[in-house]
């Protein structure tokens, strides 16, 4: 019989619905039972695309003997970290405090009935190996510890609560202390950790870090960005046949990825590729952006318009099986001419680079002159053959925050490359979120199978405002600006800490948990506090609403001492700080629709970090005063404004383009 997880929206929880484990989703039923029976909680956190989550499930959670031990000694709770990032953040932090080491997934935590953890780990094998205790043995040992060492557990829980309280930043800077020193410290840190040969930061495993790269690009550190994106686009982390990026590379050379593909990586990388192309005009980046956008539309957008969450690393219980090749299989599929062109290009004429004598495609050497048509035809044949394989699982829940990252990436790239179909896809996702996940003036975090639920988090509101500001630059829709202001009102009402500054991850009326985080660091996603500060400052420039800019300033004041003194991981807040110090600039274009579209397209072809370009047709009513510029007889008139101060209006596109470039250069200085 299926357990309680069968009724959940999360595909990850549904994957465990047939386990013999008496699983609960996180909620009152499980927590009240633990209190009532004085039983510890076994909390297991993972996500559907996670390889080691699947391994632990097959080894332990599907095993009747192990499940019987779990059911006898614990109240067992399964959590999808993508639906409940609040719970994941708390217990990842707790694991790091208890184990003095990095966390990960699956996360396996043992909690007192009040939710305080007393032991934790990540993956545990069924039987002892890899230097780890067997899971069955561990269950028996921890059940005994719970019975015999309650006083020690209570003392440790008290210490852990105190440690959590110390994680919240307390003493911020005065606004007069905010300076570019914080941004310089960030860039110096990135330079020190940059891999000049292979790109990226640090050694294996290697993650993309699009937020850090975007900051580098804004500050003129083009070499770090160009090297990294080139190595990634030529490496195995990028799908050379189908487009899109995997989550990370297990090596330092971007050769072999962890094969899961996440929506949240590809939206920011798409925006970064577009912006880097503006600076470098490198065709590789345009091709990689196009294939990534096409993959998102082809494989990740639902018929309703929302974007799905991820593709699994595994198929047929093997990681990467969908993506890797046997050399003779490729040779059989291609003509002799195609093989001659493709084999050296993709490294098929060398030694295998994946287990069991398989090849994972990467660009091993440049294509021979004149080989473009052969490569294109070979790619088509290989992709068609790959489509006949058993596909990796797809997590088809729709998350607001991840959709917002996809919307912004598609809108940004669509504007830069003149691809209206990408912008239209972003707008379809926005319309889906507004129709299905905006209810009673609040966002719901997750949607699947016709059901939206769970209170949304800081990231949902902040990322969606940021995406709306990008869409407004593609096409000015007054309802989008109104929606951004509605979201900002909830952000300030429910998440803003008016006393010490910054935004909590959960709302004021959210379920009370062990801790209420206020995260400033970027994770795999950009920092919600950083995006909120950037987006609210920009929204203030468009609306004249100073409560937005005041909240952004309080956020920057709170985190500035950490950013300046310990800059690693603060890339998004660094972008927000730099823009706040320079003040966001806005180019407001008013005029007739056709020439307005032509001017907007011309300016979209310029790299103008920190400058929003809004083309607003004459006759649009109800605009805020900052945007409501008077009509002029010229086809188009532009006003370049920094904060609330505007230059003299101009009817000369070349003059405005030059002024925008000068404003961008001042901001990057």
CATH number at residue 44: 3.40.30.10
pLDDT in tens, 461-495: 999 999 999 999 999 999 999 999 999 999 999 99
Nearest to 586 by CA among 537, 550, 548, 623: 537
pLDDT in tens, 246-296: 999 999 999 999 999 999 999 999 999 999 999 999 999 999 999 999 999
Residue 447 pLDDT: 98
Residues 470 and 516 in one domain: yes
How many domains does one find in the chain?
4
Q: Name the domain boundary from 388, 406, 424.
A: 388
Q: Does a structural domain hold residue 175?
A: no
- Quote the CA–CA distance of 350 and 116 in Å, as a whole number: 53
Q: How confident is the model at residue 170 (pLDDT cuts 50, 70, 90)?
A: confident
Please enumerate in sequence order all residues whose Cβ is within 8 A of that of 54, keeping only pairs 6 or more positions apart, or say none: 314, 317
Strands 310-311 and 394-395: antiparallel
Residues 430 and 528 in one domain: yes
pLDDT in tens, 187-234: 999 999 999 999 999 999 999 999 999 999 999 999 999 999 999 999
Nearest to 292 by CA among 309, 312, 268: 268
Residue 130 pLDDT: 80
- Quote the CA–CA distance of 274 and 276 in Å, as a whole number: 6
Q: Does a structural domain hold residue 107?
A: yes
Residues 350 and 442 in one domain: no
Residue 636 pLDDT: 97
Q: Does a structural domain hold residue 427?
A: yes
Residue 375 has pLDDT above 70, yes or no: yes
Q: Does a structural domain hold residue 415?
A: yes
Q: Name the domain boundary from 108, 140, 167.
A: 167
Residue 668 pLDDT: 61
Residues 598 and 574 in one domain: no
Q: Does a structural domain hold residue 318?
A: no
533-555: average pLDDT: 97
Residues 495 and 551 in one domain: yes
Residue 22 has pLDDT above 80, yes or no: yes
Which string of DSSP letters, residue by residue, matches 573-633?
HHHHHHHHHH--EEEEEEE-HHHHHHHHHHHHTS--TTEEEEEEETT--S--TTT-PPP-S
Host domain of residue 597: 585-668
Residues 598 and 554 in one domain: no
- Quote the CA–CA distance of 669 and 664 in Å, as a whole number: 9
CATH number at residue 533: 1.50.10.10
Residues 161 and 231 in one domain: no
Residue 2 has pLDDT above 90, yes or no: no
- Quote the CA–CA distance of 65 and 72 in Å, as a whole number: 11
Give CA angle at 631 (628, 635), nearest 5°: 120
Residue 669 pLDDT: 58
pLDDT in tens, 336-356: 999 999 999 999 999 999 988
Q: How confident is the model at residue 69 (pLDDT cuts 50, 70, 90)?
A: very high
Residue 113 has pLDDT above 80, yes or no: yes
- The pLDDT mean for the chain works out to 96
410-431: average pLDDT: 98
31-45: average pLDDT: 98
Residues 408 and 553 in one domain: yes
Residues 219 and 306 in one domain: yes
Q: Does a structural domain hold residue 121?
A: yes
Q: How confident is the model at residue 667 (pLDDT cuts 50, 70, 90)?
A: low
Q: How confident is the model at residue 101 (pLDDT cuts 50, 70, 90)?
A: confident
Residue 132 pLDDT: 86
Residue 649 pLDDT: 96
Q: Does a structural domain hold residue 371?
A: yes
Residues 361 and 501 in one domain: no
Q: Name the domain boundary from 547, 582, 617.
A: 582
Residues 143 and 67 in one domain: yes
Q: Pull the structure tokens for residue 101.
A: 């080491």
Residues 448 and 357 in one domain: no
Q: How confident is the model at residue 311 (pLDDT cuts 50, 70, 90)?
A: very high
Give Cα separations from 192 to 189, 196, 226 (angstroms). Answer: 5, 10, 17
């Amino acid at each position: 019989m299926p357990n309680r997880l069968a009724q959940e929206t999360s595909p990850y929880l549904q994957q465990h619905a047939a386990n013999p484990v008496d699983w609960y989703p996180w909620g009152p039923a499980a927590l009240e039972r633990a209190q009532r029976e004085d039983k510890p909680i076994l909390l297991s956190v993972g996500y559907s695309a996670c390889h080691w989550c699947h391994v632990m499930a097959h080894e332990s959670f599907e095993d009747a003997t192990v499940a019987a031990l779990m059911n006898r000694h614990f109240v067992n709770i399964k959590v999808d970290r993508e639906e409940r990032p609040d719970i994941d953040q708390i217990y990842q932090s707790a694991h790091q405090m208890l184990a003095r080491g990095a966390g990960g997934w699956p996360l396996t935590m043992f909690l007192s009935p009040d939710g305080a953890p007393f032991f934790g780990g990540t993956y545990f094998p069924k039987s002892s190996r890899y230097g780890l205790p067997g899971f069955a043995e561990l269950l028996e040992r921890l059940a005994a510890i719970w019975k015999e060492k309650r006083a020690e557990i209570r003392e440790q829980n008290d210490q852990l609560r105190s440690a959590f309280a110390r994680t919240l930043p307390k003493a911020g800077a005065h606004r007069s202390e905010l300076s570019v020193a914080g941004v310089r410290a960030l860039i110096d840190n990135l330079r020190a950790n940059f891999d000049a040969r292979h790109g990226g930061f640090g050694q294996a495993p290697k993650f993309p870090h699009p937020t850090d790269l975007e900051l580098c690009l804004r500050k003129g550190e083009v070499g770090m960005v160009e090297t990294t994106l080139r190595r990634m686009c030529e490496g195995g982390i990028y799908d050379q046949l189908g487009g899109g990026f995997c989550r990370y590379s297990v090596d330092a050379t971007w050769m072999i990825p962890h094969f899961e593909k996440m929506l949240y990586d590809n939206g920011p990388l798409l925006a970064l590729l577009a912006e880097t192309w503006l600076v470098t005009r490198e065709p590789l980046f345009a091709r990689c952006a196009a294939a990534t956008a096409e993959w998102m539309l082809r494989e990740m957008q639902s018929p309703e318009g929302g974007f799905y969450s991820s593709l699994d690393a595994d198929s047929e219980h093997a990681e990467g099986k969908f993506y890797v090749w046997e050399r003779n299989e490729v040779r059989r599929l291609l003509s002799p001419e195609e093989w001659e062109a493709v084999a050296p290009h993709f490294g098929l004429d060398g030694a295998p680079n994946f287990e069991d004598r398989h090849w994972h495609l990467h660009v091993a050497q440049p294509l021979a002159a004149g080989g473009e048509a052969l490569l294109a035809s070979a790619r088509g044949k290989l992709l068609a053959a790959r489509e006949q394989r058993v596909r990796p699982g797809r997590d088809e829940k729709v998350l607001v925050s991840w959709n917002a990252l996809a919307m912004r990436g598609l809108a940004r790239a669509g504007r830069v490359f003149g691809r209206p179909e990408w912008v239209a896809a972003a707008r379809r996702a926005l319309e889906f979120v507004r129709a299905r996940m905006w209810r009673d003036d609040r966002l719901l975090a997750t949607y699947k199978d016709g059901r939206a639920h769970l209170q949304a988090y800081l990231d949902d509101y902040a990322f969606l405002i940021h995406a709306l500001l990008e869409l407004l630059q593609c096409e000015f829709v007054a309802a989008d600006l109104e929606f951004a202001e509605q979201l900002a009102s909830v952000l300030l009402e429910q998440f803003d800490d008016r006393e010490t500054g910054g935004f909590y991850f959960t709302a004021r009326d959210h379920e009370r948990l062990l801790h209420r985080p206020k995260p400033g660091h970027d994770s795999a996603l950009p920092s919600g506090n950083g995006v909120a500060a950037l987006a609210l400052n920009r929204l203030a420039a468009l609306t004249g609403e100073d409560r937005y800019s005041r909240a952004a300033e309080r956020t920057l004041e709170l985190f500035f001492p950490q950013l300046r003194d310990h800059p690693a991981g603060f890339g998004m807040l660094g972008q927000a700080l730099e823009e706040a110090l320079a003040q966001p600039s806005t180019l407001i274009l008013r005029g007739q629709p056709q020439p307005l579209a032509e001017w907007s397209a011309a300016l979209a072809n310029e790299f103008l970090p920190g400058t929003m370009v809004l083309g607003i047709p004459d006759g649009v009513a109800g605009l805020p005063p900052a945007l409501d510029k008077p009509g002029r007889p010229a086809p188009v008139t532009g006003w370049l404004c920094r904060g609330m101060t505007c230059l003299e209006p101009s009817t000369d596109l070349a003059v405005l383009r030059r002024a925008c470039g000068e404003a961008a250069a001042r901001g990057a200085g």
